[in-house]
Amino acid sequence: MVKTDTLLDRFLRYVKVDTQSKEDAEEYPSTAKQWDLLKMLAAELKDLGVEDVRLERSGYVMASIPGNLPKTDKAYGKVPAVGFIAHVDTSPEVSGAGVRPQVLTYRGGDIALPGDPAVVIRADENPDLKDNVGKTVITSDGTTLLGADDKAGVAIIMSLVDTILSKPDILHGDIKIAFTPDEEVGAGTKLFDLKSFGAKYAYTIDGDKLGELNKETFSAETAVLTVSGRDIHPGMAKDVMVNATRVACEFVARTPKDMAPETTDGYQPYLHPYVMESGVGKAAVKILLRDFKSDGLKELRRRLESIAAEVRPLFPKAQIDLHFIESYRNMGPILERNQVVLDTLWEAVKRAGIAPRWVPIRGGTDGSRLTEMGLPTPNIWMGGINAHSKTEWAALHAMEKALETVVHLVGVWVEKYR
């Protein structure tokens, strides 16, 4: 029923294309190299026989596959257009240039990566490895990330297209496909045109572990701390110099240790200083604010403002400014009001022989913002683990089951309207 034979080949080709995005870029997409994969995908969709393929000036690849229901089918004309979305870019945090994927049959224990002996995928830190003994696992060589986030999702969607076009007995409504740039820098939906896309419901394929489905994300903001000091030669600094780096470090040191990503899980919120650019005269710190409750962001802002109030008297000659930028909101409340998009997904996973489970994302997806914009978009696993790191790995079995799920999903939507 499902064409899994080319799934791995597609994935291995895609991860070798460097698509690392860049924060604070003026261009969109933020890096020109993302066009390499976007153009490749547009060409491959056409080669597969998709007639409506658009590579937009904004960097989105969009495609449409018309439904194939006969007019005699009870669902004809009733099934809503359903979309599938994945992003092409990889994290700015770790290089995606020159990825050399390693394909192995996992035999148990730690996985030492050949490009750097210091980089080891440890079994005790990766409990999902035990479910892949005897199965195919893909890693990088340890000098780069792998790029399963989200090129596994891209490969799954391309294999979905291949499957439904080569097997006309799989009946479906209109299917919409989108590949987006710059998701990793929070701009994946910046110029996304819902009307042009044309779907009523959609799914991102950008989760991780087998069977995990996501209908809840963090609500997110970014705080920007800016410190203005005074630079002068250190030999003349007494009672004159105001070291902005020292001020910024004092601020960061006062953020709650029990509200950091490394000390929280589940539904717990966090504050995460993740970028600092500093010198004596000027320093800037970016801090992520995350809470599943949108109102909880108010408390996180209050905490940071309180820290700023504590630090200002310690450095009276420094100027300390703090402002907040909204990113996205938890998609859960909106998705709960669109139960059909959740129920169809749940049923499709069961038909793939997997026990589904809803898990909150301690992060966000393109679906977070798309849902807020009016396109209900829950998230499906894609089989990658340890995203944004050199120890990233992917389980081929999980990728195959995600593909099987989305193939079942287009059929479940048809049955829903019979």
Active site positions, annotated: 89, 183
Find, among 40, 41, 38, 66, the residue nearest to 52 by Cα.
66
The two three-digit tokens of residue 270, written as one number:
């966090």
CB contact set of 29 (below 8 Å; sequence gap of 6+): 21, 35, 38, 59, 89, 181, 182
List, as one string, the DSSP characters of 159-220. HHHHHHHH-TTS----EEEEEES-GGGT-TTTT--HHHH--SEEEEE---STTEEES-B-EE
Is 357 in a helix, a strand, or coil?
A: strand
Strands 102-105 and 212-214: unpaired
CA distance 157 to 403: 7
What's the maximum distance between 2 C-alpha atoms anywhere in the chain? Answer: 88
CA distance 193 to 374: 11
CB contact set of 384 (below 8 Å; sequence gap of 6+): 146, 148, 149, 150, 152, 208, 392, 393, 394
List, as one string, the DSSP characters of 249-302. HHHHHTS-GGGSGGG--TT--EEEEEEEEE-SSEEEEEEEEEESSTTHHHHHHH
Nearest-5° Cα angle at 204, 202 to 208: 150
CB contact set of 4 (below 8 Å; sequence gap of 6+): 159, 400, 403, 404
